[in-house]
Amino acid sequence: MSENNQEEKLVGIVMGSTSDWDVMKEAAKMCRDFGVSFEARALSAHRTPDELGEWIANMEKRGCKAFIAGAGGAAHLAGVVASHTILPTFGVPIPSKYMKGLDSLLATVQMPKGIPVSTLAIGEAGAANAALAVIAMLAINNSELKDKLIEFRAKQSEKVRKATLPELD
Ligand code: RP5
């Protein structure tokens, strides 16, 4: 996609590889469900560093308010995204083949002082929660979004209240 695109998007979702999409689509789905505009891209900190920087700059021009970055293994993507922008950056550690995402978690969460990456849980829950964290941030100045978030929590609570445990064998 061309970085000349001017369409407004509130959230930038980026992942190091298309292989991360199965996890990162949970962030995209949450944004979609809350009616929050987003753009999702597979761009790598080490395989396409220049394109990554160009995309971040383009997103900033288009009204982006936060970035969600997911990567696996030596997962420096979220830190690199955060280094390119002062917008809040949320990191999602992607489960990896050999270390099950513990490598991704440590690489994403252990940012040196000065460039923060707010890091979520490994995997799908982290991706969904990254979007919820961004939505909560946007809801501070958006009463419609705030109401949707309150409704989301209420429905979630109701589901737990109504849940029943299986009978004993
Ligand atoms: C990371 O390496 C990506 O974020 C992905 O999680 C991992 C493996 O990428 P592929 O080899 O599947 O493209 O950069």
Q: What is the pLDDT of residue 19?
A: 98
Q: pTM of the full predicted structure?
A: 0.96
* Residue 16 CA, closest ligand 1 atom number: 4
Coil, strand or helix at 13: strand
The pLDDT tens digits of the residues spanning 113-152 come to 999 999 999 999 999 999 999 999 999 999 999 999 999 9
Q: Does 3 have pLDDT greater than 70? A: no
The per-residue pLDDT for range 55-102, each reduced to its tens digit, is 999 999 999 999 999 999 999 999 999 999 999 999 999 999 999 999
Locate 125 and state its tokens: 């829950």
Mean pLDDT over 140-169 rounds to 97
Confidence at residue 2, expressed as pLDDT on a 0 to 100 scale: 53
Nearest CA to ligand 1 atom 13: 17
Give the distance (Å) from ligand 1 centre to CA of residue 4: 27
Written as six digits, the tokens of 89 are 């950056």
pLDDT at 5 over 80: no
Atom index in ligand 1 nearest the CA of residue 44 equals 14
Atom of ligand 1 nearest to the CA of 46: 14
Pocket perturbation via mutation, ligand 1, pick of 13, 15, 17 by most ligand atoms within 8 A of CB = 17
| DSSP reduced 3-state for 142 | coil
Distance 71 CA to ligand 1 centre (A): 7
pLDDT attached to residue 4: 67
- Atom 7, ligand 1: which residue's CA is nearest? 72
- Cβ distance 53 to 2 under 8 Å? no
Ordered DSSP codes for 76-115: -HHHHHHHH-SS-EEEEEEP-TTTTTHHHHHHHH-PPTTS
d(CA 90, CA 119): 6
- For ligand 1, whether the C-beta of 16 sits within 6 Å is yes
Q: Is 94 in the pocket of ligand 1 (CB under 6 A)?
A: yes
